[in-house]
Each structure stands twice: as C-alpha cells, then as structure tokens.
Amino acid sequence: MPLLDIRGLRLNFETETGSLELFRSFNLTVERKEILGIVGESGSGKSTLAYAILRLLPANARILGGEIILDGQSLLELREDEIRKIRGKKLTMVFQDASTSLNPLFRVKDQMLAVIKENVGLEGSPARQHAVQLLKQVELPDAEGVMDSFPFELSGGMQQRVMLSMALSSNPKLIIADEPTSSVDSTIQEQILRLFRRLRAERDFSMILITHSVAVAQEVCDRLAVMYAGDIVEEGPAGRVMASPKHPYTEALIRSIPVPRSTRGRKEDLPVVWGQVPDLMNPPDPSAMLSLSKGVS
Ligand SMILES: Nc1ncnc2c1ncn2[C@@H]1O[C@H](COP(=O)(O)OP(=O)(O)OP(=O)(O)O)[C@@H](O)[C@H]1O
Ligand SMILES: [Mg+2]
C-alpha cells in the first residue's frame, strides 16, 4: 500500500469571473521512503496540490470529489480537529522562503521549542535537547548559537535548514517541500539537496519535492511526476524520465535546462518552452497540448 494515495481528485476555484477547474480527475501515489519530484511550470497546480493534501486550501477552493489517503487514513473525511492532529506531525511542510516562514520577532529557539511542544509534546530540557539534535542533523554544527539567533542573523541556507529541522521534529511520514531551494544560491541548493538524500537514507520518511527545475528534481528524486495545467502528463523513475521523456512537454522542460557553454562546445540560445499555460477557465482538449513540441502555442 503506498504511503499517499490520491484518487480522482476534483478541485475548482470559485472566482469573480467563474469557476476555474484545476484538477479534473487527479491521481498520484507516493511510496514509503520515496522522494517524488513534482515538476511543472508556474500555474500548473503544484502548490494547490500541496495545500489540498494539507487541507490548507484558500477559502474559494472547492474539493468536488476524490480521495486523499495518507497511511490508510482518508484525509478529506477528517474533521478540522482531527486533521490538526496529523498536520505538523505525520505530515509536515517546508515552504519556499524561510525568511517569511520564520517569525522575525522571535529567536530560533522560541520558534523551535513552540513547534516541538505542539507537535512532539516535549517541554523544558528534553525539548531543548531534541532541538539541538535536530539542528545537528540538518548540518548546523553550532546548534546553540543558531538557537540563540534571530532569523535575520542567519543566512538563507541556514534559515532553510532550521525550517527543515522543524519539519523533521515530529518524525513525520511525509514532508512536502514546495520550492525549498529556489530562494538560495546554487552552492547552497546543492548542499540542501545532498542533505535531503542523506536524511532520507537515515530516517523513515517520504518527501514530495515541488520544483520548477527538472535539474533539481533529477538530483534528488527517485521518481518524477510532470504536471501541466492541473494534470500529470508523465511520471516514472527520474532516470528514465530524463533519459527518454515520453511527453513533448517533459522533453521541452528538459531541453530548457541550461548547459554550461564549455560543455555544449558552442554558444547556443537556451531553448524555451513555447506557448502559454492554457486558460483553465476554458481548458483545451488534452491532445492540443501535444502541439507544444512543435513550438505552436
Ligand atoms: N485562490 C485562488 N483563486 C483562484 N485561482 C487560484 C487560486 N490559487 C491558485 N489559483 C490558480 O490555480 C492554478 C494553479 O496555481 P498554483 O499556485 O497551484 O500553481 P504552481 O504550479 O504552484 O505555480 P508556481 O510554480 O508559480 O508556484 C493557477 O492557474 C492559479 O492562478
Ligand atoms: Mg507554487
């Protein structure tokens, strides 16, 4: 049985100009101890999927059907107080920009200890020890110094590690990371991706890694799912998808990964993914999306 099983999910947004149908019959599974990469361009529905799993959707979103089953539990059927017992514990999230997720007014220790109290039930010195251990696990050796800092005193990469340590604090089954490395530079990105791989090998969790970047997904994911206009247009083992993409949109995404000039041998323009994201108020026939490969919008 997969850890996460999404079946036939249907989701609309009610807007002033009408109903926007994002997920028509969305299916996805995440296996235990798997890192699943979700790639796709802006507006394809990656974050909405994360919020649907967490049951943190905006007020104008309507789930019209389908199931989201986490570890045998049907999340859409839970009451608000029941989902709160799962969110932050069995199911946690790392957001894109740690500097806006961490509260600038409180020291790291106050924020970590509050999370540990709420989600793990520890207080006082055991909670402190747990926090120090977590910070060491995310490769922040000066854990005491980090705990005493305000977020603005830490670099972007350190802040992101603090966020990750909080997401790990309750020993979750599933971590959803939405663009976790897009606000840090490429060296730090590389270190954080390596850290994900190391932690996954050491601990028992699965991860959904949401990213615009096929290159990032390829670095760290076991399997890739490519989203386009609220649908998964291709999925498979990361190596297979990268080596022989079956869908023209995936192929276009892979072609748009920058390659250093020295490797390519000569100066070339970076290929672009042609076309516009379809208007989801009037979604096109899925077969029309195939025209992407020919550069027709
Ligand atoms: N509250 C909302 N009301 C109406 N439409 C929304 C709302 N939230 C998202 N959408 C629409 O749903 C679609 C998917 O948005 P979403 O934010 O999930 O995309 P994304 O893949 O995460 O994009 P990005 O890569 O830019 O983060 C977009 O067309 C977006 O405009
Ligand atoms: Mg998003």
Task: Spell out the domain ranges in the chain.
Answer: 4-85+174-179+206-294
| pTM of the model as a whole | 0.88
Q: Decide: 42 in ligand 1 pocket, CB within 6 A.
A: yes
Radius of gyration of the CA atoms of the chain, in A: 20
Give the per-residue pLDDT at 188.
87
Q: Would you write out the chain's pLDDT as a tens digit for each of its 297 residues? A: 999 999 999 999 999 999 999 999 999 999 999 999 999 888 999 999 999 999 999 999 999 999 999 999 999 999 999 999 999 999 999 987 777 889 999 999 999 999 999 999 999 999 999 999 999 999 998 999 999 999 999 998 999 999 999 999 999 999 999 998 887 888 888 888 889 989 988 988 999 999 888 888 888 999 999 999 999 999 999 989 988 888 888 888 888 777 665 555 556 666 666 666 667 777 666 555 555 444 433
CB-count exposure of residue 33 (10 Å: 0-12, 13-18, 19+): middle
Query: Which of helix, strand or coil describes residue 29?
Result: strand
What is the pLDDT at residue 297?
38
What pLDDT is recorded for position 268?
Answer: 61
Mutate to test the pocket of ligand 1, among 44, 54, 211, 273 (most ligand atoms within 8 A of CB): 44
Q: What is the pLDDT of residue 296?
A: 38
Nearest ligand 1 atom, CA 40? 21
Tell me, in angstroms, the distance from the centre of ligand 2 to residue 147's CA: 29
Q: Are 147 and 107 in contact (CB under 8 A)?
A: yes
With a 6 Å cutoff on the Cβ, whether 45 touches ligand 1 is: yes
Q: How far does residue 141's CA lie from ligand 2's centre (Å)?
A: 31
DSSP states of 37-70: EEE--TTSSHHHHHHHHHT---TTEEEEEEEEEE
Q: Which two tokens stand for residue 286?
A: 């899925």
Starting from the CA of residue 95, give the closest ligand.
2
- For CA atoms 101, 106, 107, 111, give the dihedral sign: negative
130 Cα distance to chain centroid: 25
Output the DSSP codes for 161-197.
HHHHHHHHTT--SEEEEESTTTTS-HHHHHHHHHHHH
Instruction: Write down the CATH number for the domain with range 4-85+174-179+206-294.
Output: 3.40.50.300
Helix (H) or strand (E) holding 236: strand 231-237
CA dist 112 and 163 (Å) reads 9
> 37: which 2 tokens?
């990469």
CA of 42 to the centre of ligand 2 (A): 7
What pLDDT does residue 217 have? 87
The verdict on the CB of residue 280 being under 6 Å from ligand 1 is yes
Q: Which atom of ligand 1 is nearest to the CA of 280?
A: 29
**What is the 57 CA–ligand 1 centroid distance (Å)?**
11
Amino acid at 215: A
How open is the CA angle 28-94-279, to the nearest 5 degrees?
55
What's the confidence (pLDDT) of residue 295? 44
Instruction: Decide: helix, strand or coil at residue 8.
Output: strand
Question: How far apart (Å, rounded) are the C-alpha atoms in residues 97 and 163?
Answer: 10
Distance 118 CA to ligand 2 centre (A): 27
- Can you tell me the distance from the alpha carbon of 107 to that of 279, in angstroms, rounded to the nearest whole number? 44
> pLDDT at position 266, please?
59
Structure tokens at 257: 């990964």
- Smallest CA-to-CA distance from 119 within 135, 130, 108, 103 is with 130
